[in-house]
Amino acid sequence: MVGKSAILVRASGLVGGELLNLLLHGEAYSKVIVMGRRSLNLEHPKLEEIIVDFDLLDQYKESFRVDEVFCCLGTTIKKAKSKEAFKKVDVDYVLGLAKIAKEMKVEKFLIVSSMGANQKSSIFYSKMKGLVEESLKEIGFNFLHIFRPSLLLGQRQEVRSGESAAAFLSKGLSFLLIGGLRKYKPIQAKSVAKGMYNAALYTNAGYHTYMSDEILDIS
């Protein structure tokens, strides 16, 4: 039986790497297209890899003839080196991907956002995340799933000392985060990936937003 097809944008990050493993080894998918700036140097019968220039996304339009798009694209202001460069990746590129996906009749778009996403926020990072979320709603996907994890836990390729310290402190205080505070608990990237995978398989049409506690519930 032929399974579903999906595009995964940026499989080199924490969540993207875990999600790629699920897509390749799960029975639901028969074709997985990975889009990124550089090769993963990975071979698998289901895997097709496309090295993308995100400034020229229209060149890859025909590759979007898939059932679903999983977007794990994102950077940090420190890595991007300016607010303008950050916005280009986290807003412009993401919306470019989404618009092409909609044009090519992709049913489901699933994206990793951030817990504090709010386009009215005074914090630039949170404001940009909120802006992209609101813009995605306007595109009009039949299924739109937005995941707002708190602090992500997992083994990163690059060292982020601030996040490492925060993760250490947060894990030690996690026992205090109960009830309505569960959404602030640090969450494993593997759990976010599993939540995205399950949402793509089992949820109904419409717009869905998941905080960390809700991601854990569906993972």
Write the CATH number for 171: 3.40.50.720
Active site residue 46: no
Contact 143, 209 (CB under 8 A): no
Active site residue 197: no
Per-residue pLDDT tens, the chain, 219 aa: give them: 579 999 999 999 999 999 999 999 999 999 999 999 999 999 999 999 999 999 999 999 999 999 999 999 999 999 999 999 999 999 999 999 999 999 999 999 999 999 999 999 999 999 999 999 999 999 999 999 999 999 999 875 555 444 444 444 445 545 544 555 567 789 999 999 999 999 999 988 999 999 999 999 999
Q: How many domains does the chain have?
A: 1
Predicted TM-score (pTM) of the model is: 0.89
Contacts of 126 (CB under 8 A, 6+ apart): 114, 116, 117, 118
Domain that holds residue 159: 4-218
Catalytic residue among 108, 129, 183, 194: 129
Catalytic residue among 31, 46, 88, 125: 125
